[in-house]
Chains A and B, each alone.
Chain A
Amino acid sequence: MAERFDVLESRLRALAAETEFPPTPDVAAAVRSRIAVAPVPPKRFRFARRPSRRALAVAIACVVALPAAAIAAVPGARHAVLDWLGLRSVRVRTVPALPPAPPGPGSRPSARPGADLGRRATLARARAQLPFSVRVPRALGSPPRVFLASSPPGGRVSLIYRGPPRLLVTEFRGSHTRTFLEKTAGPGTTVERVRVSGAPGAWLAGRPHGFIYADARGVIREESTRLAGNVLLWERGGVVFRLEGRVSKAAALRIARSFR
């Protein structure tokens, strides 16, 4: 698919955020000594308006951008991350799609603090609004709570089952970008490839986890842990399904297979 310039531009910016130039050497000292040897007083030098607003803006931007840049660094350096986590080449699967992004202005996290699920909706409304077929697990019946979010592009629906077990199901569509889902797991977490009715998937079991991902515009985002529990991820027909909760693998797979 042809990519528009603004998409290419945001990809370039995302790439730039992951890229590090060689560290700036201390040129000031060398310059100082060289100038001291041959001082050349300028005739009437004045600085352009002190540090200038631009410099100030740059400085502020640096401060603000620091944590984001730190996160942004992670996906690009995946081998190092995987090495560091002791789990090299655990590529869970290719998911041409994106986990949920933080809500935009106006949409309030509703399920609980930190859960950026979007706004409350009904299943019918979600089905009417989303460009993909929303599926629900027949094993669990109609979801008591439904949330609709506009990000990532293409929209996202979250279904919450109060349980027990309490479950969060998220569905969102893959984008045309070739994005990969990479798993990096720390101590106490296991990763296993699974099949959900023939569809490729992954079972992530262990402690609570967080998401770090690049959204469709190349913006690196982080999502805090939501429900503590295990996660089953799978993809079918360009839609990514994510089931999270305190469930066993067998139970998660059984639920996943019942999605209609």
Chain B
Amino acid sequence: MRARNGDTAAYERLVERHAGIAFRTACVLAGSAADAEEATQDAFVKAHRALGRFRPGAPWRPWLLQIVANEARNRRRSAGRRVRLELRAAEQAVGAAGAAGLSLAAPSPESVVLLAERDAGLRRALGTLAERDREVVYLRYFLDLSETEMSAVLGCRPGTVKSRLSRALQRLRAAVEERDG
């Protein structure tokens, strides 16, 4: 890797590679896609400036995500605002499956879908969680962050991540059960 000593092209590749996870992390924390975009951009610029402080050999992602998280939190403009996570467009999905040669092909004569209605309930239950709990659940299960990355994003010790996640899951389970009756 030629990315050292200010190799801008190399840094750009790094940005491209991590833009997705940085942006999604920002989405979870910022409250809107627009804020998340700003936060991501600023985070990459700040990270570039701070590269000198980056410890060589240390994992890059947790370090970057920590900066992203700070930027995103600073931009959360209203406490109640939450990013709306969209369902994947079905048409796209069906088309993609067709392109992949699956029998779910677009003009599929018939498809029987066993729908997990419970997922709708789970989604609603997630919505009732406190910000703090929801964040940890999203980071773990929707973004698939490692414990190290989560601790960087949440600003807590790695050991605390587990207990926070476990408490959040308890409350989520309680919320699901309440809804499922």
Please classify how large the interface on chain B is, using the bins under 10, 10 to 19, 20 to 34, 35 or more: 35 or more
Q: How long is the Cα–Cα vector from A222 to B108 in the complex, in angstroms?
A: 14
Q: How long is the Cα–Cα vector from A43 to B57 in the complex, in angstroms?
A: 14
Is A67 a contact of B100 with CB atoms below 8 Å? yes
Summed over the interface, the residue pairs from A and B with CB atoms below 8 Å come to a total of: 296
Q: How long is the Cα–Cα vector from A38 to B22 in the complex, in angstroms?
A: 22
Is A22 a contact of B87 with CB atoms below 8 Å? no
Is B93 a contact of A73 with CB atoms below 8 Å? yes
Q: How long is the Cα–Cα vector from A222 to B114 in the complex, in angstroms?
A: 10
Is A186 a contact of B110 with CB atoms below 8 Å? yes
- The distance from the CB of A218 to the nearest CB of chain B, in whole angstroms, is 7
Is A213 a contact of B113 with CB atoms below 8 Å? yes
Contacts of A1-60 to chain B: CB distance below 8 A: 2-3, 5, 8-9, 11-16, 18-22, 24-28, 30-32, 34-36, 38-52, 54-55
Is B108 a contact of A3 with CB atoms below 8 Å? no
Chain A contacts of B118 at CB under 8 A? 11, 177-179
Does residue B172 face the partner (Cβ distance < 8 Å to A)? Answer: yes
Does residue B128 face the partner (Cβ distance < 8 Å to A)? Answer: no
Is B41 a contact of A31 with CB atoms below 8 Å? yes
- The distance from the CB of B131 to the nearest CB of chain A, in whole angstroms, is 17
Does residue A89 face the partner (Cβ distance < 8 Å to B)? Answer: no
Count of A interface residues, CB-CB < 8 Å: 92
Kindly report which residue of chain B lies nearest to residue A190, judged by CB atoms.
B110
Chain B contacts of A70 at CB under 8 A? 93-94, 96-97, 100, 102, 104
Does residue A167 face the partner (Cβ distance < 8 Å to B)? Answer: no
Is B110 a contact of A208 with CB atoms below 8 Å? yes
Q: Mark B1-25, 1 if CB is under 8 A from A, else 0.
A: 1011110101110111101101110
Does residue A71 face the partner (Cβ distance < 8 Å to B)? Answer: yes
Kindly report which residue of chain B lies nearest to residue A9, judged by CB atoms.
B141
Does residue A98 face the partner (Cβ distance < 8 Å to B)? Answer: yes
- Interface residues, chain B, CB within 8 Å of chain A? 1, 3-6, 8, 10-12, 14-17, 19-20, 22-24, 27, 33, 36-37, 40-41, 44-45, 48-49, 51-52, 54, 56-61, 83, 85-94, 96-97, 100, 102-104, 107-119, 121-123, 126, 137, 141-142, 144, 166, 169, 172-173, 176-177, 180
- With A22-B23, A22-B33 known, 5 other A-B pairs at CB within 8 A are A27-B44, A45-B56, A181-B112, A209-B108, A222-B102
Which 7 pairs between the two chains have the least Cβ-Cβ distance?
A: A213-B114, A41-B6, A207-B109, A209-B110, A73-B93, A42-B51, A80-B90
